[in-house]
Structure 1
Amino acid sequence: MSYHHLTRNELIFIEEYNNSGFSARHIAQKLGRSKECIYRILRQLQAGLSAPAIFLQYQRNKKKCGRKPISLDSETKALVKERIGLGWTPDTIASPKPTANTKPFPCSMKTLYRMFSEGIFDKKQLPMKGKRKPNGHQEKRGKEAFKRRLEDRAVAFPGFDAEFGHLEGDTIVGKDHKSALITLVERTSKAIIVLKVVSRKAVSIEEALHQWLSGFPSHFFKSITFDNGKEFSRWKQTANRHDMDIFFADAGKPCQRPLNENSNGILRRNGLPKQMDFNTISQQEVNEITAARNNLPRKSLDYLTPIACFLQHADVSRLI
């Protein structure tokens, strides 16, 4: 049962009733309080305290209750700012699993998020939130009936959610829609791959995928799930050349490729913004951006990095 402390007005009423000669029982009945509560205040009044003084004393005592606020030292604050600048999220910074070279973080993820809300750290550096499209938006792409759907994927790969080797893919477009990059993410390890292409035409997309997939053994990757962009219209050629399955999410449902959509947002915020002309950067520069992301620990991977998880699932000897 919760207990409600006496308010300042109630203390003043108790003092006035006491000065008027009312008994403690009568005062308790009027205020709906217990007699012991009233007797405790009367004893303080008899000791020479006034109602406002009793209330101030109560406020001072209340400040001593509960857990003391957590504050970070200057070294830890500098570490948080450094890692946020590198793209770490508060949940990975406050990871409950420190490595051999790091000590346990002095506060929880929720406390760290609260510090961002209170202005101790700049919350503008946190990943952006919000809807990509307004309610009622209707997707007009992806009307071809011959594409393989997710229903086909469920039949072909019953263990899809737990198997290594399934990719999600899309393209991100540069400034004025004059350049593009192919983005892929492996579902189990969450490793991100970005490929530079000559143009967003289907032939260029096919050739870039062919060159990249040719560097892996046959059947190393089992499937790719794309969105409904026209740039993937030559998917059959890619599937036949590399003997792999290619599927397509339903039109207007990016939630069916969640890892790829999230990865695209991460890349946009960390080196590949919409205002950039991708024709001005090299594949090496793109690789450096993705490497920075693939070497950050992820909570969903039990605080392993995507690249470490990729190597755990992949047979490295097959790549030699």
Structure 2
Amino acid sequence: MRTLYRLFQRDIFNVKLLPMKGKRHPNGYVERRGKAGRLGRSIYQRYQDYPHFQHEFGHLEADTVQGKAHQGAVMTLVERLSKVELILNIQQKSAECVNKHLNQWLSQQPKHLFKSITFDNGKEFTGWKEIANKHDISTYFAEVGAPNQRGLNENNNGLIRRDGLNKSMDFRNLPNALVQQVSSRRNHIPRKSLNYKTPIEVFMENITDKQLCYF
């Protein structure tokens, strides 16, 4: 793969835009920067608690994306069934900012609309107990060094880079309008995996009157 990408960079195939850049580390490499070990219940417990989670609505994957030179951050949440991308403009990558904005966002949603959140093991998610207790939502953590366990979230993080939140930007003072624009663009693109429906269409199809009664 890396050999092919080097050929692309030399313009041998006349390809200008590539979604990925190939592996940056050899096999067996484990990312440890900003990690605190597994912070809570393992993702494997999710399989036991929700044996049909692959086909259930309401399971989120969460991560943070930083700006240039690690300046500022946004938090990304992806609903697994509909593939809806939600972006919170948290401005700083800290547990305090993550909890503040995640609390505010969940408080605006119908109660029990979301069943679970699966985080990575970044230190910004050390306040997960407050989120779980306040909103009665199950929380899980992927294994350390296994981003593939949140593959949908990781892939969408790369896509929002291309859609406007690129690595050259300082995220400390991002306009909310820009964040909403990027999120809206991603949610209105038809997906083959959704039978050519858009993520927002599938999301709304799974909102029931019963759920809205608890709002």
Is TM (by shorter chain) over 0.5?
yes
Letter in 1 for 2:37: K
Aligned mate of 1:243, from 128, 131, 136? 136
Helix, strand or coil for the counterpart of 2:64? strand
**Deviations 1:271-312 (Å, cap 9, x if unpaired)?**
011111112322221011111111111111111111111111
User: Is contact 1:169-1:184 (8 Å) kept?
Assistant: yes
- How many positions carry a matched residue from both structures? 201
The Cα of 1:269 is off from its aligned counterpart by: 1.5
Letter in 1 for 2:110: P
Distance 2:21 2:59 in 1: 27
User: What fraction of aligned residue pairs are identical, expressed as a percent?
Assistant: 47
User: Is contact 2:91-2:173 (8 Å) kept?
Assistant: no
Letter in 2 for 1:278: F
TM value normalised by structure 1: 0.59
Which residue does the alignment assign to 2:117?
A: 224
Report matched runs for 1:1-320 at 5 Å: 123-140=15-32, 141-144=35-38, 147-315=40-208, 318=212
Once the two structures are overlaid, the 10-residue window that deviates more, 239-248 or 192-201, is 192-201
The Cα of 1:202 is off from its aligned counterpart by: 0.4
Deviation >6 Å, runs of 4+: none
Distance 2:185 2:74 in 1: 17
Distance 1:268 1:174 in 2: 10
Distance 1:153 1:171 in 2: 21
Q: CA RMSD in A?
A: 2.1
Letter in 1 for 2:173: T
User: Is contact 1:175-1:276 (8 Å) kept?
Assistant: yes
Question: Aligned in 2, Cα 1:179/1:308: closer, same or farther, shift over 3 Å?
Answer: same
The higher radius of gyration belongs to 1
Distance 1:228 1:201 in 2: 13
User: Is contact 2:103-2:131 (8 Å) kept?
Assistant: yes
The Cα of 1:126 is off from its aligned counterpart by: 4.7
User: Is contact 1:142-1:250 (8 Å) kept?
Assistant: no
Distance 2:15 2:179 in 1: 27
User: Is contact 2:91-2:174 (8 Å) kept?
Assistant: no
Distance 1:196 1:132 in 2: 28
The Cα of 1:315 is off from its aligned counterpart by: 2.3
The Cα of 1:152 is off from its aligned counterpart by: 1.3
Helix, strand or coil for the counterpart of 2:53? coil
Distance 2:25 2:58 in 1: 30
Distance 1:173 1:295 in 2: 24
**Deviations 1:101-142 (Å, cap 9, x if unpaired)?**
xxxxxxxxxxxxxxxxx97xx732352352253323123334
